[in-house]
């Protein structure tokens, strides 16, 4: 055997292999490499070994089966780390990202089914990471937008931003494209909504012209026509076009004159961490929910009646343990609301570690149902309140916002408040006792000529 | 050539009679058969769990078979002294080594074919709505696992010319781990413009010597049915060519050592 020849052959093989490997690397990186965002720090030794040996997807699949069992058992706490592990192991598992976001944002609740909103920044970060790792598909852009639109329900510019990205993806479902117009509307971008509907309508008509026997194509044209028609009628009746061209004051639009919602509220600390909230809201039609927030007075990442939801791209599965943030909706019936809020049974969700707190009441017509918006308008131009109309806490919007301060001693009924009952009231509070006992709900209109209860 | 093929044929016969390999194979097939039960547990991701688990089982079982099968091939012949009978005939040592390797790869291929058949059957039964394209796409992964395991067998064959089977088992396993995990890392380092030239050079050398097993892990695209893969045919051809180069390199190195070894 000629050793020189073999040595030469060995060198050629190694050199050839190395060249092919370098040529192949860009394709491997693009097609098969887990993205750089995936890290494996959360894995135990055996999981790490198997994952590193090239069995990431297999381990991810097995873990996801385990998570499924926990879902069925209602053991939600156990699912959280598994979701994180699966996304680390296999960052291409879109369903795990989507389920994880939903789970983090919605499923951690207290005994009265209020979700722990301190988790929402983590859910958003997970969505951002998933979108980055799977930017070829609309799915996680859409899911993240949905979180802004539905769960946060107060910052629609972000929903619109994510859905704009979703709409750029080729696989975006036709029916889902419409919702971007709703986000534009709730963001106060009326022209954006009209343009988006028109664009979709034109595309749908072109598609229908090419496929005249396609029922789905026909249905899509019809749906968009109805949506666009409704939108234009609503904008006209609410006076949005008139506001744009400066003739709003000259005609009798549905949103004129502003309707006084007559907001008042009282909070009684019945027992330690148990609040009795009642108040008035002079709007008869059913469908109003006034947001109530109880939060630390001075902590970072807080803003009026909300958190700073977008807190970066780090997926932290432990929410800020020291922070207290309770959010609930006060359902209005017969022009009054009443709710007993019990935070005593969930000490981890409501730690009450600060000395001072604020109770906030917040109402934004952008989150209201259409029949309320017909009277109040998208930006609250048809709504007023002599004490609590606010144009500062949400830029460019007229919202109802009231803030009451309360101390830790008052909330926990300790110190001087151990034997006294703390009561906090807004200006001009009207007792609601009689209204709350009515079993019949009266439903008059909101038009100017039928302002009952004023 | 006749001698090589005869040795290969005999090696296949020996391999399929080895109980330890058959047990490993049986365990692998059993896992494949119970895999649908596992995927049913996860209704949310039935397809993903089924494919990730079954492909993982095939890859893991094949890796164990490839190493266990190959590490004993040469030492057993020496220990049982059957190698003298063979080498006393007009058979070169490199014939013997190459025949043994081809036999190991042949046996490995047969076992992987059996597992892949079970995989396809299970998939067809569990995913009845799946198209033929889906089945073909799924079957692509075991093909490249086979290429990967052939490379691993060459590594084990190389080590078996100078180390004991136990040491070889861990050495080959270690090379597989390093080649799976660190090849992309070393490739990243060698492409990093901000690193000193010496570090980049060292990374390039290591990356060139340690076989890159990571590039055969193509199951991610099949399991998650993600984006359209770019130039995939070219990629497949290149990783096969890469494997041929490295298999040849390990066999040549093995032949050179085995040629001078006292048996």
pLDDT digits (tens, 9 = 90+) for B139-155: 889 999 999 999 999 99
CB contact under 8 Å between A10 and B252, yes or no, is yes
Q: For position A440, what pLDDT does the model report?
A: 56
A440-445, long-range: CB < 8 A, 24+ apart: A441/A286, A441/A333, A441/A334, A442/A284, A442/A334, A443/A284, A443/A285, A443/A286, A444/A284, A444/A285, A445/A285
pLDDT, average across residues B14-22: 84
pLDDT at B195: 74
Cβ contacts of A34 on chain B, cutoff 8 Å = 220
Contact: B259, A1; criterion CB under 8 Å: yes
The predicted structure's pLDDT at residue B100: 93
A residues 91-110 closer than 8 Å to B (CB) = 92-96, 99
Question: Strand A383-384 vs strand A259-260: parallel, antiparallel, or unpaired?
Answer: parallel
Out of A190, A215, A243, pick the residue that ends a domain.
A243
What pLDDT digit, counting tens, does each position of B80-108 carry?
888 888 888 887 888 889 999 999 999 99
**In the predicted model, what is the mean pLDDT of residues B166-185?**
85
Using CA atoms, how far apart are residues A417 and A406, in angstroms rounded to an integer?
12
- Per DSSP, helices labelled H in A318-427 are 370-376, 408-412
Helix B132-159 vs helix B165-191: crossing angle, to nearest 10: 110
pLDDT of residue A73: 72
pLDDT of residue A445: 58
More confident residue, A343 or B263: A343
Are A265 and A201 within one domain?
A: no
Judge: A95–B44 Cβ closer than 8 Å, yes or no. Answer: yes
Do the Cβ atoms of B224 and A55 come within 8 Å? no
Rounded to whole angstroms, how far apart are CA atoms A152 and A162?
A: 14
Do A228 and A294 fall within a single domain? no
- Using the CB atoms, write b or e for A221-239: b if 16+ within 10 Å: bebbeebbeebeebbeebb
pLDDT on residue A360? 97
Distance, CA of B53 to CA of A297 (rounded, Å)? 50
Confidence of residue B229 (pLDDT cuts 50, 70, 90): confident
Across chain B, mean pLDDT equals 85
Judge whether A31 is closer than 8 Å to chain B, CB to CB: yes
- Assess whether A445 and A357 both reside in one domain: yes
Q: What angle do CA A160, A165, B137 make, to 5 degrees?
A: 140
Whether the bond into A397 is cis, omega within 30 of 0: no
Q: Is residue A30 part of a domain?
A: no
Structural domain count of chain A:
2
Q: Is the ipTM of this complex over 0.85?
A: no
Distance CA A94, CA A169 (A): 15
To test the contact with chain A by mutation, choose from B34, B45, B98 the residue with the greatest count of A C-beta atoms within 10 A, namely: B45
The residue among A4, A16, A19, A32 with the most chain B CBs within 10 A of its CB, best to mutate, is A32
* The pLDDT value given to residue A453: 43
Residues of chain A with pLDDT under 70: 1, 33-56, 433-454
Distances (CA, A) of B185 to A37, A59, B189, B190: 14, 21, 6, 9
B30-62 pLDDT tens trace: 888 887 776 555 555 677 778 888 888 899 899
Range of B158's domain?
2-260
Q: Which two tokens stand for residue A164?
A: 């704009």
Q: What is the pLDDT of residue B34?
A: 81
Among the candidates A190, A212, A243, a domain finishes at: A243
A7 touches chain B (CB under 8 A): yes
Range of the domain at A203: 45-243
| Same domain for A419 and A327 | yes
Of B45, B53, B252, the CB nearest to A13: B252
Place of tokens 């887990």: A34
* Min Cα–Cα distance to chain A from B179, Å: 9
Q: Which two structure tokens, joined as six digits, stand for B238? A: 């290149």
Are A109 and A225 members of one domain?
A: yes
Distance of alpha carbon A372 from alpha carbon A154, whole angstroms: 16
A302-303/A306-307 β-pairing: antiparallel
Residue B19 structure tokens: 């109980």
**Which of the two residues, B224 and B170, has the higher pLDDT score?**
B170
Question: Are the Cβ atoms of B48 and A61 closer than 8 angstroms?
Answer: yes
DSSP B156-185: HHHHTTTS-HHHHHHHHHHHHHHHHHHHHH
Residues A184, A283 share a domain: no
A26 in any annotated domain: no
Cross-chain Cβ contact B59/A14 below 8 Å: no
Give Dmax over CA atoms of chain B in angstroms. Answer: 63
Burial (Cβ within 10 Å: 0-12, 13-18, ≥19) of residue A215: exposed
Question: What confidence score (pLDDT) does residue B208 get?
Answer: 74
Closest listed residue to residue A329, CA positions, set A99, A101, A154, A104: A154
The number of beta carbons lying within 10 Å of the beta carbon of residue B90 is 7
**What b/e readout covers A13-39, taking b as 16+ CB neighbours within 10 angstroms?**
bbebbbebbeebbebbbebbbbeeebe
Calculate the alpha carbon distances from A229 to A224, A234, A235, B79 in Å: 8, 9, 10, 88
**pLDDT tens by residue, A143-196:** 999 999 999 999 999 999 999 999 999 999 988 999 999 999 999 999 999 999
Q: Are residues A385 and A411 in the same domain?
A: yes
Domain CATH for A80: 1.25.40.10
Q: Tell me how far apart the alpha carbons of residues A326 and A343 are, in angstroms, rounded to a whole number.
A: 9
């Amino acid at each position: 055997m000629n050793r020189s020849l073999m040595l030469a052959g060995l060198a050629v093989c190694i050199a050839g292999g190395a060249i092919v490997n370098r040529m192949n690397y860009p394709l491997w990186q693009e097609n098969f490499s887990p993205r750089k965002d995936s890290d494996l720090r959360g894995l135990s030794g055996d999981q790490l070994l198997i994952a590193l040996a090239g069995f990431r997807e297999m381990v991810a699949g097995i873990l996801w089966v385990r998570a499924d069992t926990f879902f069925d058992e209602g053991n939600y706490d156990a699912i959280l780390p598994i979701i994180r592990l699966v996304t680390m192991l296999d960052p291409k598992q879109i369903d795990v990202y989507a389920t994880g976001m939903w789970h983090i944002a919605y499923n951690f609740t207290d005994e009265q089914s209020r979700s722990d909103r301190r988790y929402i920044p983590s859910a958003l970060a997970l969505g951002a990471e998933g979108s980055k790792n799977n930017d070829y598909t609309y799915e996680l852009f859409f899911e993240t937008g949905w979180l802004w639109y539905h769960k946060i329900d107060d910052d629609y510019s972000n929903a619109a931003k994510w859905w704009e990205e979703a709409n750029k993806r080729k696989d975006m479902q036709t029916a889902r494209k419409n919702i971007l117009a709703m986000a534009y509307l709730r963001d106060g971008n009326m022209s954006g909504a009209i343009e988006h509907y028109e664009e979709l309508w034109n595309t749908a008509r072109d598609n229908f012209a090419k496929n005249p026997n396609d029922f789905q194509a026909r249905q899509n044209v019809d749906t968009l026509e109805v949506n666009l028609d409704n939108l234009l009628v609503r904008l006209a009746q609410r006076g949005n076009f008139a506001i744009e061209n400066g003739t709003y004051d000259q005609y009798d639009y549905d949103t004129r004159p502003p309707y006084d919602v007559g907001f008042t509220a009282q909070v009684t600390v019945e027992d330690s961490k148990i609040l009795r909230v009642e108040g008035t809201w002079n709007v008869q039609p059913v469908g109003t929910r006034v947001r109530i927030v109880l939060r630390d007075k001075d902590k970072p990442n807080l803003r009026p009646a909300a958190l700073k939801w977008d807190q970066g791209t780090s997926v932290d599965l432990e929410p800020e343990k020291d922070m207290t943030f309770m959010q609930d909706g006060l359902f209005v019936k017969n022009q009054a609301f009443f709710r007993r809020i019990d935070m005593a049974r969930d000490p981890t969700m409501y730690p009450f570690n600060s000395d001072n707190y604020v109770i906030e009441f917040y109402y934004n017509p952008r989150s209201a149902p259409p029949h309320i918006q017909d009277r109040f308008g998208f930006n609250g131009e048809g709504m007023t309140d002599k004490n609590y109309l606010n144009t500062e806490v949400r830029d460019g919007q007229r919202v109802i916002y009231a803030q009451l301060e309360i101390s830790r001693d008052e909330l926990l009924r300790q110190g001087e408040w151990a034997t006294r009952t703390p009561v906090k009231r807004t200006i001009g509070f009207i007792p609601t006792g009689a209204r709350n006992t009515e079993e019949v709900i009266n439903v008059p209109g909101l038009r100017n000529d039928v302002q009952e209860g004023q | 050539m006749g001698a090589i093929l005869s040795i290969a044929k005999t090696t296949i016969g020996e391999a399929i009679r080895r109980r330890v390999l058959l047990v490993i194979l049986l365990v692998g097939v059993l896992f494949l058969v119970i895999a649908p039960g596992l995927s049913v547990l996860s209704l949310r991701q039935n397809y993903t769990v089924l494919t990730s688990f079954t492909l993982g089982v095939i890859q893991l079982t094949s890796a164990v078979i490839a190493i266990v099968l190959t590490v004993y091939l040469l030492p057993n012949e020496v220990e049982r002294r059957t190698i003298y009978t063979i080498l006393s005939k007009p058979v070169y040592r490199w014939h013997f080594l190459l025949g043994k390797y081809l036999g190991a790869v042949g046996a490995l291929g047969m076992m992987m074919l059996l597992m892949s058949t079970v995989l396809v059957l299970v998939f067809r039964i569990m995913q009845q709505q799946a198209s033929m394209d889906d089945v073909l796409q799924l079957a692509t992964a075991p093909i490249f696992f086979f290429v990967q395991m052939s490379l691993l067998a060459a590594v084990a064959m190389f080590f078996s010319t100078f180390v004991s089977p136990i040491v070889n088992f861990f050495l080959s396993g270690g090379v597989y781990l390093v080649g799976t995990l660190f090849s992309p890392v070393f490739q990243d380092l060698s492409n990093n413009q901000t690193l000193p030239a010496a570090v980049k050079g060292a990374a390039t050398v290591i990356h060139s010597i340690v076989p890159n097993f990571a590039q055969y892990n193509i199951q991610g695209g099949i399991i998650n049915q993600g984006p359209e893969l770019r130039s995939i045919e070219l990629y497949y051809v290149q990783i096969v060519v890469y494997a041929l180069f490295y298999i040849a390199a390990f066999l040549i190195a093995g032949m050179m050592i085995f040629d001078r070894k006292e048996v």
